[in-house]
Amino acid sequence: MNQEYTAIKNQIDRALEQLIRQDPANPLAEAMAYGISTPGKRIRGVLTVYFCRRLSVPEEQAVPFAVALELIHAYSLVHDDMPEMDNDAYRRGLPTCHKKYGPALALLAGDAILNYSMEYLLSHRSLYRPEPFLRALEALYQAAGSGGMLRGQAMDKIGESHALSLDELFLLHRLKTGALLSAPIEIASALSGTRNENYVNYCRRIGLAFQIKDDLLDVEGSPAVLGKETGRDSEESKSTFVSVMGVNEAKKALAEELEAATAAVSDDPFLCWLAGYIGKREK
Protein backbone atom coordinates (compact mmCIF):
# COMPACT_ATOMS: atom_id res chain seq x y z
CA MET A 1 0.00 0.00 0.00
CA ASN A 2 1.20 3.50 -0.85
CA GLN A 3 2.60 5.27 2.24
CA GLU A 4 0.86 8.59 1.57
CA TYR A 5 -2.45 6.80 1.05
CA THR A 6 -2.03 4.88 4.31
CA ALA A 7 -1.14 8.03 6.25
CA ILE A 8 -4.23 9.93 5.01
CA LYS A 9 -6.48 6.89 5.54
CA ASN A 10 -5.26 6.53 9.13
CA GLN A 11 -5.93 10.22 9.71
CA ILE A 12 -9.52 9.80 8.51
CA ASP A 13 -10.01 6.59 10.49
CA ARG A 14 -8.90 8.36 13.67
CA ALA A 15 -11.34 11.20 13.02
CA LEU A 16 -14.18 8.72 12.43
CA GLU A 17 -13.33 6.82 15.61
CA GLN A 18 -13.76 10.03 17.60
CA LEU A 19 -17.32 10.35 16.27
CA ILE A 20 -18.49 6.96 17.49
CA ARG A 21 -20.63 7.61 20.50
CA GLN A 22 -21.80 4.95 22.93
CA ASP A 23 -25.00 6.44 24.34
CA PRO A 24 -27.19 3.87 26.14
CA ALA A 25 -30.06 6.35 26.14
CA ASN A 26 -30.07 6.54 22.32
CA PRO A 27 -31.30 3.35 20.62
CA LEU A 28 -29.65 4.41 17.36
CA ALA A 29 -26.16 4.99 18.76
CA GLU A 30 -24.90 1.41 18.59
CA ALA A 31 -26.22 0.77 15.07
CA MET A 32 -24.80 4.10 13.88
CA ALA A 33 -21.40 3.27 15.35
CA TYR A 34 -21.50 -0.12 13.65
CA GLY A 35 -22.25 1.44 10.26
CA ILE A 36 -19.54 4.08 10.64
CA SER A 37 -16.81 1.79 11.94
CA THR A 38 -17.08 -1.03 9.38
CA PRO A 39 -13.56 -1.31 7.87
CA GLY A 40 -13.15 0.36 4.48
CA LYS A 41 -10.63 1.66 1.97
CA ARG A 42 -11.63 5.33 2.54
CA ILE A 43 -10.78 6.14 -1.09
CA ARG A 44 -13.24 9.04 -1.25
CA GLY A 45 -11.92 10.65 1.91
CA VAL A 46 -8.30 10.10 0.92
CA LEU A 47 -8.89 11.74 -2.45
CA THR A 48 -10.58 14.71 -0.78
CA VAL A 49 -7.54 15.37 1.41
CA TYR A 50 -5.13 14.73 -1.45
CA PHE A 51 -6.84 17.09 -3.92
CA CYS A 52 -7.15 19.75 -1.23
CA ARG A 53 -3.41 19.50 -0.67
CA ARG A 54 -2.73 19.81 -4.39
CA LEU A 55 -4.99 22.87 -4.63
CA SER A 56 -3.50 24.52 -1.50
CA VAL A 57 -6.51 24.08 0.78
CA PRO A 58 -5.45 23.96 4.47
CA GLU A 59 -5.50 20.47 5.98
CA GLU A 60 -7.84 21.56 8.77
CA GLN A 61 -10.41 22.48 6.12
CA ALA A 62 -9.91 19.32 4.07
CA VAL A 63 -10.35 16.70 6.79
CA PRO A 64 -13.91 17.61 7.91
CA PHE A 65 -15.17 17.27 4.34
CA ALA A 66 -13.27 14.00 3.92
CA VAL A 67 -14.90 12.67 7.08
CA ALA A 68 -18.37 13.88 6.02
CA LEU A 69 -17.96 12.21 2.63
CA GLU A 70 -17.02 8.94 4.33
CA LEU A 71 -20.08 9.26 6.58
CA ILE A 72 -22.27 9.65 3.51
CA HIS A 73 -20.63 6.62 1.94
CA ALA A 74 -21.18 4.65 5.17
CA TYR A 75 -24.89 5.47 5.27
CA SER A 76 -25.26 4.52 1.61
CA LEU A 77 -23.75 1.10 2.29
CA VAL A 78 -26.07 0.49 5.25
CA HIS A 79 -29.05 1.17 2.98
CA ASP A 80 -27.56 -0.63 -0.05
CA ASP A 81 -27.22 -3.86 1.92
CA MET A 82 -30.86 -3.98 3.00
CA PRO A 83 -33.31 -6.55 1.57
CA GLU A 84 -35.13 -3.89 -0.43
CA MET A 85 -31.90 -2.94 -2.20
CA ASP A 86 -28.97 -5.38 -2.71
CA ASN A 87 -30.02 -7.83 0.03
CA ASP A 88 -26.52 -8.61 1.32
CA ALA A 89 -25.92 -10.53 4.54
CA TYR A 90 -22.22 -9.67 4.87
CA ARG A 91 -19.97 -6.73 4.14
CA ARG A 92 -16.20 -6.91 4.58
CA GLY A 93 -16.58 -10.17 6.46
CA LEU A 94 -19.04 -8.81 9.02
CA PRO A 95 -22.83 -9.11 9.25
CA THR A 96 -24.50 -6.19 7.52
CA CYS A 97 -26.22 -3.62 9.71
CA HIS A 98 -29.74 -4.92 9.05
CA LYS A 99 -28.66 -8.48 9.85
CA LYS A 100 -27.24 -7.36 13.18
CA TYR A 101 -29.86 -4.82 14.25
CA GLY A 102 -32.88 -5.52 12.05
CA PRO A 103 -34.13 -3.64 8.97
CA ALA A 104 -36.00 -0.88 10.81
CA LEU A 105 -33.08 0.14 13.02
CA ALA A 106 -30.65 -0.14 10.09
CA LEU A 107 -32.83 2.15 7.99
CA LEU A 108 -32.97 4.72 10.77
CA ALA A 109 -29.26 4.38 11.52
CA GLY A 110 -28.46 5.09 7.88
CA ASP A 111 -30.70 8.16 7.96
CA ALA A 112 -29.03 9.31 11.17
CA ILE A 113 -25.51 8.88 9.74
CA LEU A 114 -26.47 10.99 6.72
CA ASN A 115 -27.94 13.68 8.96
CA TYR A 116 -24.88 13.60 11.17
CA SER A 117 -22.60 14.28 8.19
CA MET A 118 -24.23 17.71 7.92
CA GLU A 119 -24.24 18.30 11.68
CA TYR A 120 -20.54 17.44 11.75
CA LEU A 121 -19.66 19.87 8.96
CA LEU A 122 -21.72 22.66 10.48
CA SER A 123 -19.90 22.17 13.79
CA HIS A 124 -16.65 23.01 11.89
CA ARG A 125 -18.00 26.00 9.94
CA SER A 126 -15.83 28.50 11.81
CA LEU A 127 -12.80 27.08 9.95
CA TYR A 128 -14.05 28.40 6.60
CA ARG A 129 -14.96 31.56 4.80
CA PRO A 130 -18.74 31.41 4.19
CA GLU A 131 -18.79 31.38 0.39
CA PRO A 132 -16.27 28.55 -0.22
CA PHE A 133 -17.86 26.56 2.61
CA LEU A 134 -21.33 26.82 1.06
CA ARG A 135 -19.97 25.94 -2.39
CA ALA A 136 -18.30 22.83 -0.97
CA LEU A 137 -21.47 21.84 0.91
CA GLU A 138 -23.43 22.19 -2.31
CA ALA A 139 -20.93 20.05 -4.22
CA LEU A 140 -21.00 17.31 -1.57
CA TYR A 141 -24.74 17.05 -1.12
CA GLN A 142 -25.52 17.39 -4.82
CA ALA A 143 -23.22 14.41 -5.44
CA ALA A 144 -25.06 12.41 -2.78
CA GLY A 145 -28.58 13.56 -3.66
CA SER A 146 -31.42 12.87 -6.04
CA GLY A 147 -29.44 14.13 -9.03
CA GLY A 148 -26.35 12.11 -8.12
CA MET A 149 -25.84 8.91 -6.14
CA LEU A 150 -29.51 8.46 -5.22
CA ARG A 151 -30.61 8.87 -8.83
CA GLY A 152 -28.14 6.15 -9.78
CA GLN A 153 -29.45 3.88 -7.03
CA ALA A 154 -33.01 4.39 -8.28
CA MET A 155 -31.94 3.57 -11.84
CA ASP A 156 -30.19 0.46 -10.54
CA LYS A 157 -33.30 -0.72 -8.71
CA ILE A 158 -35.63 -0.01 -11.64
CA GLY A 159 -33.15 -1.85 -13.87
CA GLU A 160 -33.91 -5.10 -12.06
CA SER A 161 -37.23 -5.28 -13.93
CA HIS A 162 -35.67 -5.02 -17.40
CA ALA A 163 -32.27 -5.20 -19.05
CA LEU A 164 -30.46 -1.87 -19.32
CA SER A 165 -28.63 -0.73 -22.43
CA LEU A 166 -24.92 -0.03 -22.24
CA ASP A 167 -25.55 3.72 -22.41
CA GLU A 168 -28.04 3.46 -19.53
CA LEU A 169 -25.53 1.42 -17.55
CA PHE A 170 -22.77 4.00 -18.03
CA LEU A 171 -25.11 6.79 -16.89
CA LEU A 172 -26.29 4.75 -13.91
CA HIS A 173 -22.79 4.18 -12.62
CA ARG A 174 -21.52 7.68 -13.36
CA LEU A 175 -24.15 8.57 -10.77
CA LYS A 176 -24.42 5.64 -8.34
CA THR A 177 -20.69 5.03 -7.92
CA GLY A 178 -19.07 7.87 -9.83
CA ALA A 179 -20.78 10.81 -8.11
CA LEU A 180 -19.17 10.18 -4.72
CA LEU A 181 -15.82 9.46 -6.38
CA SER A 182 -16.02 12.79 -8.23
CA ALA A 183 -17.08 14.63 -5.07
CA PRO A 184 -13.48 14.94 -3.75
CA ILE A 185 -12.30 17.13 -6.62
CA GLU A 186 -15.53 19.13 -6.61
CA ILE A 187 -15.11 19.81 -2.88
CA ALA A 188 -11.44 20.74 -3.29
CA SER A 189 -12.30 23.00 -6.23
CA ALA A 190 -15.03 24.74 -4.23
CA LEU A 191 -12.78 25.33 -1.22
CA SER A 192 -9.80 26.49 -3.29
CA GLY A 193 -11.63 28.52 -5.93
CA THR A 194 -9.58 26.76 -8.63
CA ARG A 195 -10.40 23.87 -10.95
CA ASN A 196 -8.12 21.33 -12.56
CA GLU A 197 -9.92 19.60 -15.44
CA ASN A 198 -7.36 16.78 -15.51
CA TYR A 199 -8.32 15.90 -11.94
CA VAL A 200 -12.01 16.11 -12.86
CA ASN A 201 -11.49 13.74 -15.79
CA TYR A 202 -9.44 11.41 -13.60
CA CYS A 203 -12.23 11.12 -11.04
CA ARG A 204 -14.85 10.41 -13.69
CA ARG A 205 -12.70 7.66 -15.14
CA ILE A 206 -11.86 5.94 -11.87
CA GLY A 207 -15.53 6.12 -10.86
CA LEU A 208 -16.48 3.94 -13.82
CA ALA A 209 -13.39 1.77 -13.40
CA PHE A 210 -14.27 1.13 -9.76
CA GLN A 211 -17.74 -0.12 -10.68
CA ILE A 212 -16.56 -2.26 -13.59
CA LYS A 213 -14.07 -3.89 -11.24
CA ASP A 214 -16.84 -4.46 -8.66
CA ASP A 215 -18.95 -6.18 -11.32
CA LEU A 216 -16.01 -8.40 -12.31
CA LEU A 217 -15.30 -9.28 -8.68
CA ASP A 218 -18.91 -10.36 -8.21
CA VAL A 219 -18.29 -12.96 -10.92
CA GLU A 220 -14.62 -13.83 -10.45
CA GLY A 221 -13.79 -12.76 -6.90
CA SER A 222 -13.25 -14.91 -3.84
CA PRO A 223 -15.97 -14.65 -1.16
CA ALA A 224 -13.31 -15.19 1.52
CA VAL A 225 -11.29 -12.23 0.25
CA LEU A 226 -14.27 -10.01 -0.55
CA GLY A 227 -15.90 -10.65 2.81
CA LYS A 228 -19.29 -11.20 1.18
CA GLU A 229 -21.09 -13.59 -1.15
CA THR A 230 -20.40 -13.45 -4.88
CA GLY A 231 -22.97 -13.91 -7.64
CA ARG A 232 -25.41 -11.56 -5.94
CA ASP A 233 -25.88 -9.35 -9.02
CA SER A 234 -27.16 -12.29 -11.05
CA GLU A 235 -29.44 -13.46 -8.23
CA GLU A 236 -30.95 -9.97 -7.96
CA SER A 237 -31.33 -9.74 -11.79
CA LYS A 238 -29.17 -6.63 -11.96
CA SER A 239 -27.80 -5.24 -15.20
CA THR A 240 -24.02 -5.05 -14.80
CA PHE A 241 -21.06 -4.42 -17.04
CA VAL A 242 -20.48 -8.17 -17.07
CA SER A 243 -24.08 -9.10 -17.92
CA VAL A 244 -24.30 -6.47 -20.66
CA MET A 245 -20.76 -6.69 -22.11
CA GLY A 246 -19.46 -10.07 -21.04
CA VAL A 247 -16.37 -10.69 -18.92
CA ASN A 248 -13.76 -10.07 -21.63
CA GLU A 249 -15.30 -6.83 -22.89
CA ALA A 250 -15.77 -5.62 -19.32
CA LYS A 251 -12.08 -6.22 -18.69
CA LYS A 252 -11.26 -4.22 -21.83
CA ALA A 253 -13.51 -1.38 -20.67
CA LEU A 254 -11.81 -1.43 -17.26
CA ALA A 255 -8.38 -1.19 -18.89
CA GLU A 256 -9.54 1.69 -21.12
CA GLU A 257 -10.94 3.71 -18.20
CA LEU A 258 -7.77 3.18 -16.14
CA GLU A 259 -5.54 4.07 -19.08
CA ALA A 260 -7.50 7.29 -19.65
CA ALA A 261 -7.39 8.11 -15.93
CA THR A 262 -3.63 7.62 -15.81
CA ALA A 263 -3.10 9.66 -18.98
CA ALA A 264 -4.99 12.58 -17.42
CA VAL A 265 -2.60 12.71 -14.44
CA SER A 266 0.55 11.15 -15.91
CA ASP A 267 2.78 13.53 -13.93
CA ASP A 268 1.24 12.52 -10.58
CA PRO A 269 2.71 9.26 -9.20
CA PHE A 270 0.17 9.01 -6.38
CA LEU A 271 -2.90 9.23 -8.61
CA CYS A 272 -1.35 6.85 -11.15
CA TRP A 273 -0.68 4.37 -8.35
CA LEU A 274 -4.28 4.69 -7.12
CA ALA A 275 -5.69 3.98 -10.59
CA GLY A 276 -3.56 0.83 -10.73
CA TYR A 277 -4.70 -0.18 -7.27
CA ILE A 278 -8.35 0.15 -8.25
CA GLY A 279 -7.78 -2.09 -11.25
CA LYS A 280 -5.86 -4.77 -9.35
CA ARG A 281 -7.81 -4.85 -6.08
CA GLU A 282 -9.31 -8.15 -4.96
CA LYS A 283 -11.94 -6.69 -2.63
Give the CA distances from residue 144 to residues 66, 70, 95, in Å, rounded to whole numbers and listed in that order. Answer: 14, 11, 25
Q: How many structural domains does the chain have?
A: 1
Give the CA distances from residue 47 to residues 73, 119, 276, in Å, rounded to whole numbers and listed in that order. Answer: 14, 22, 15
Domain that holds residue 237: 3-280
Q: Which helix (H) or strand (E) holds 114?
A: helix 103-123
CATH of the domain at 88: 1.10.600.10
The pLDDT value given to residue 22: 67
The pLDDT value given to residue 234: 67
The pLDDT value given to residue 118: 97
> What residues in the chain have per-residue pLDDT under 50?
none
Dihedral pair phi/psi, residue 94, rounded to 5°:
-115, 150
Q: Which helix (H) or strand (E) holds 91?
A: strand 90-91
The pLDDT value given to residue 182: 98
Q: Of 283, 276, 262, which is closest to residue 216 (Cα–Cα)?
A: 283
pLDDT digits over 146-155, tens only?
999 999 999 9
**Amino acid found at 164:** L
